[in-house]
Amino acid sequence: MKSGLFGFLFGMWVLIIVGGGIVVTILGPITISGFGDYNWFIASVIKTIVALVLVVIWILILSKLKNWIFKKEIKL
Amino acid sequence: MIDLLIPTMISCIVAFVVVFVMTPPLMKILQKNNLAVKDMNKKEDVMVVRPGGPAIITGIIASEIVLYAFLQMNEILAILITTSAAFVVGYVDDRKVMGGWFKPVALAVSAIPIIVLGAYDTDLAFPLFGTVQIPALYLVLIIFMIPITGNTINSIDVLNGVASGFMVIASFSLSICLFIIQNYEIAIVSLPLGFVSLAFYKYHKVPSKIFPGDSGALTLGAMYGAIAIVGGVEIIAAIALLPAVINSFLFLSSVKRVVEHRQIKGKPVDHTDDFRLKATGDKKAPVTLVRLILAGGPLFEKQVGHMIFKLTIFSGVLAVITAFMMGVAL
């Protein structure tokens, strides 16, 4: 059980590092043109939507990881 | 760096001494006013006074005022006002039972001084990959960060000494990380949080003489969140906080909605005959960090606390590794 908790912590850490990589390399460079002064705002909205989708995916992966590591304990 | 040594030492001493000296008389006042609750994890009918928040916030205000006198940084004011507002939110909740949404919404409002004082940078820094600029999204992040850190610390305040002991480890880890990334001024500003928590831990550890209450837990959590934003170390701060994040995540993923602990019907943890803690088989009860720790077998309250501290030290080490990784680019 104890090693499972440390493993889960480590898994979360890896997910944060990988998620950060996706955010910086894919999300960060997104730019929009053709909307004049609103370019930055439209780009921000798109980045926000993509970031929210990423957060949902992150939570789903974390849930799967939790069920895999603690499958016996969660049934309790 | 050397010129920062004197304000650092004075603020740390003030933070520790104020809480250490103020807590015993606060306990007497709370006792006199009958502001005590039953310690559910003790065999005998032990009553423990609460909240310890007033001592904690006094230590924070005194030490940060000392730092402001020397450094005169807007960031200190932002941390101070946000933390004080979070204390008020917690104190209201200590004195009056509020709805499940009260704390998140009120704590979101507490974050506004950080925006108004402009004490933030819209660059979100990630290890290995660099930074990303999210001007509009970052404002949303600020609004969400304070309720998340405040409630995360509040949700881990379930056993004697855990909230304050957890904050000692997490906040000192964060300070070390701030020194590593050479953000010396915010590192110094963050140190009183660790010393305030350490002084309060003296009275909060097993067997507790005082509980922090919502006012104490939210104050510690909100200050931690404010430091993370002002210092530009949001990701590192989240990593140092991972055991408490896991607790909130497990709780929310099993309950599937935002609720107050007092609204939960099932009982996640029970007691053995010798009053060790044991996980229950109650299907309605939420899955929590303590329940998972106890899934391996019954443990005494102190042993569960020590297990949480070991997990916090582990996440603190991961945070320090992450801070070193901030200087490395792929």
CA dihedral over B292, B53, B207, B262, signed as positive or negative: negative
Do B156 and B265 fall into the same domain?
no
At B123 the three-state DSSP class reads strand
Q: Which of B126, B293, B318 sits opposite A23 (nearest CB)?
A: B126
Query: With an 8 Å Cβ cutoff, are A47 and B128 in contact?
Result: no
- Can you state the angle between helices B135-155 and B213-230, rounded to 10 degrees? 150
Q: Which of A9, A51, A74 sits opposite B287 (nearest CB)?
A: A74
A10, A17, A53, best to mutate vs chain B, most B CBs in 10 Å = A17
Q: What pLDDT does B184 receive?
A: 94
Rounded CA-CA distance B163/B155 in Å is 9
B287: which chain A residues are within 8 Å (Cβ-Cβ)?
A: 74, 76
Beta strand B36-38 with B47-49 is antiparallel
Q: What pLDDT does B261 receive?
A: 61
Do B273 and B293 fall into the same domain?
yes
Do B273 and B183 fall into the same domain?
no
pTM here?
0.92
How distant is the Cα of B69 from the closest Cα of chain A, in angstroms?
Answer: 37
Nearest-Cα residue of chain B relative to residue A24: B132
Q: What is the mean pLDDT of residues B292-319?
A: 94
Rounded CA-CA distance B238/B234 in Å is 6
Do B283 and B161 fall into the same domain?
no
A1, A2, A5, best to mutate vs chain B, most B CBs in 10 Å = A5
Do B23 and B50 fall into the same domain?
yes
- Per the structure, the complete domain to which residue B203 belongs is given by 2-254+308-326
Residue B119 pLDDT > 80: yes
A9, A62, A64, A71, best to mutate vs chain B, most B CBs in 10 Å = A9
A54: which chain B residues are within 8 Å (Cβ-Cβ)?
A: none
Q: pLDDT-derived band of residue B45, with 50, 70 and 90 as boundaries? A: confident
B26 at A interface, C-beta within 8 A: no
Do B63 and B199 fall into the same domain?
yes
Do B261 and B188 fall into the same domain?
no
Do B186 and B270 fall into the same domain?
no
Do B57 and B70 fall into the same domain?
yes
Query: With an 8 Å Cβ cutoff, are A13 and B135 in contact?
Result: no
What is the number of domains present in chain B?
Answer: 2
Residue B163 pLDDT > 90: yes
Kindly list the distances between the CA atom of residue B318 and the CA atoms of A9, A14, B72, B304, in Å, as whole numbers in the listed order: 9, 10, 32, 21
How distant is the Cα of A27 from the closest Cα of chain B, in angstroms?
Answer: 8
Q: pLDDT-derived band of residue B258, with 50, 70 and 90 as boundaries? A: low
Do B27 and B135 fall into the same domain?
yes
Do B249 and B261 fall into the same domain?
no
Say which residue, B222 or B280, is predicted with more confidence: B222
Mean of all residue pLDDT scores within chain B: 92
Do B194 and B49 fall into the same domain?
yes
How distant is the Cα of A28 from the closest Cα of chain B, in angstroms?
Answer: 5
